[in-house]
Amino acid sequence: MEIFKYNAERVQKINIFMKKLLELKDSSEKVKLFKEFETEIENLNPLDIFYLDFYSNDSELSIKEIKESANKFVNVFHKGIFKHSNFGEHPLFVQLLKENKSIQNHLSLIKPFYKRGEILNHKKELKTIFNKCNDFELKFNKYENIIFSYLEKRVPSTKPLEVLWELHDDSKHLLKSILDLLETNDEEEIIKQIGQFHYLIFGIGQKEEIILLPVLKQLFKEEELNKIYNECLEVGFVFNKDKLEPIRSKSTMNINGYFNSKTGKMSIDQLIQMLNHLPMDITFVDKDDVVLYYNDNLNRHFPRTPAVIGRQVKNCHPPKSVDVVEGIISDFKSNKKDFEEFWINFKEKLLYIAYYAVRDEKSNYIGVLEVSQDITRFQKLTGEKRLRDHQ
């Protein structure tokens, strides 16, 4: 199997090309520039993109600025990186590509109504189509919580992943806006935003298929891809009702031993089951901001898969909320705070989310515990119900 190799000389030339391209206004000068760097452009491989100055973790460009130029460069580099989009028959790639195709097929249902003078006569049909687009969340969850997590451990920069996450968020906001607009008669704005949404979803899929997935294929062995696939199965694939079976591992895990403390003793298996049956989601992040553990609650509010273990906590959140998370942890480390709480409306539930600083016997900070719980039912409680009242 061919393995991508980082070519420092080629990357450096592409860095020069990108800077010059953004500076040029004259089309004839751009043609000359393309000719000068034709060899590097046509031989670019997807992994090179993670080494480019524009997409480095210390890039001077903001996420917004990178987003604005992303499609332009994907189109420029398409010829070179497209050559690496041969994925074979591994079910991970088969299902991810099938998912993208299903999403595009769903969006094509808009075509018969996407005309001036027709939009307002078919708002009911369009509402049905766009309400189903909320299912795209399954796909975004797989990338943000599984695929990104694995890639972060191998690629030199997470910036391209942050950009994609931001595009996911953009599409969610745009979808909500379209559904709101379909309650109005603003035909021009409806047409405009539907076009933007279609273009955005297509662009996300394109970046996955010619950049992310080829890098994933080259950086991970089959056994690792099997693990990623099994975790993706837990989340599911958009518009796919097939009964998909996990890929069985040749090795089995045997849990032995006991957990001992001054307050009790139980087997490791008992401890795991007890934590998984807590009526709340818990996640523990260590003093170096690395996720070490989460309980496998069947009714989790936010998706978690084993891919999150070993991940930097800042990479577990959308780019727009990273500063808030880092601020909380910074306050814990400096002893400014020991606790922070939030409550949000989420999928018709009221969620209570709390962060607790965890300290050892000498008050040294050793991590943070995140706890989230559905408190909708608690709001309705009145009076008392004592144990003796149980029938």
Q: What is the pLDDT of residue 69?
A: 85
Q: What is the pLDDT of residue 256?
A: 73
What would the mean pLDDT of 88-108 be, rounded to a whole number? Answer: 96
- CATH classification at residue 223: 1.20.120.520
Residues 368 and 273 in one domain: yes
**pLDDT reading at 254 higher than 80:** no
* H or E element that contains 101: helix 91-107
Residue 207 lies in a domain: yes
Residues 280 and 237 in one domain: no
Please tell me the distance from the alpha carbon of residue 49 to that of residue 35, in angstroms, as a whole number: 20
Residue 391 lies in a domain: no
Residues 244 and 283 in one domain: no
> 223, 252, 281: which is the final residue of a domain?
252
**pLDDT reading at 108 higher than 90:** yes
Residue 346 lies in a domain: yes
**pLDDT reading at 1 higher than 50:** no
What would the mean pLDDT of 305-324 be, rounded to a whole number? Answer: 91
What would the mean pLDDT of 321-339 be, rounded to a whole number? Answer: 95
Please tell me the distance from the alpha carbon of residue 308 to that of residue 294, in angstroms, as a whole number: 9
Q: What is the pLDDT of residue 230?
A: 95
Residues 50 and 96 in one domain: yes
What would the mean pLDDT of 177-181 be, rounded to a whole number? Answer: 98
Please tell me the distance from the alpha carbon of residue 353 to that of residue 245, in angstroms, as a whole number: 34
Query: 156: which 2 tokens?
Result: 């030199």
**pLDDT reading at 3 higher than 50:** no
Q: What is the pLDDT of residue 302?
A: 83
3-state DSSP of 137-206:
HHHHHHHHHHHHHHHHCCCCCCHHHHHHHHHHHHHHHHHHHHHHHCCCCCHHHHHHHHHHHHHHHHHHHH
Residues 319 and 364 in one domain: yes
Residues 273 and 180 in one domain: no
Model confidence pLDDT, tens digit, residues 142-174: 999 999 999 999 999 999 999 999 999 999 999
**pLDDT reading at 340 higher than 50:** yes
**pLDDT reading at 204 higher than 50:** yes
Residue 291 lies in a domain: yes
Residue 260 lies in a domain: no
Residues 48 and 132 in one domain: yes
- CATH classification at residue 350: 3.30.450.20
Q: Higher pLDDT residue, 289 or 387?
A: 289
Amino acid at 274: M
Residues 131 and 58 in one domain: yes
Residue 339 lies in a domain: yes
Q: Of 61-65, 175-179, 377-381, which gets the smallest average pLDDT?
A: 61-65
> 228, 252, 276: which is the final residue of a domain?
252
What would the mean pLDDT of 206-230 be, rounded to a whole number? Answer: 95
> 252, 277, 305: which is the final residue of a domain?
252
Q: What is the pLDDT of residue 255?
A: 62
Mean pLDDT, the chain, whole residue set: 92
Q: What is the pLDDT of residue 250?
A: 60
Residue 257 lies in a domain: no
What would the mean pLDDT of 358-385 be, rounded to a whole number? Answer: 93
Percent of the chain at pLDDT exceeding 90 = 74
Residue 263 lies in a domain: no
Residues 150 and 241 in one domain: yes
Q: What is the pLDDT of residue 391?
A: 61
Residues 371 and 226 in one domain: no
Residues 130 and 184 in one domain: yes
Please tell me the distance from the alpha carbon of residue 126 to that of residue 197, in angstroms, as a whole number: 13
Residues 208 and 300 in one domain: no
Q: What is the pLDDT of residue 371?
A: 96
Please tell me the distance from the alpha carbon of residue 229 to that of residue 237, in angstroms, as a whole number: 11
Please state the separation of Cα 313 from the chain's center in Å.
13
Q: What is the pLDDT of residue 390?
A: 66
Domain that holds residue 327: 268-380
Please tell me the distance from the alpha carbon of residue 170 to that of residue 114, in angstroms, as a whole number: 21
As a whole number of Å, the CA-based R_g of the chain is 24
Q: State how many domains the chain has.
A: 2
Model confidence pLDDT, tens digit, residues 259-277: 998 899 999 999 999 999 9
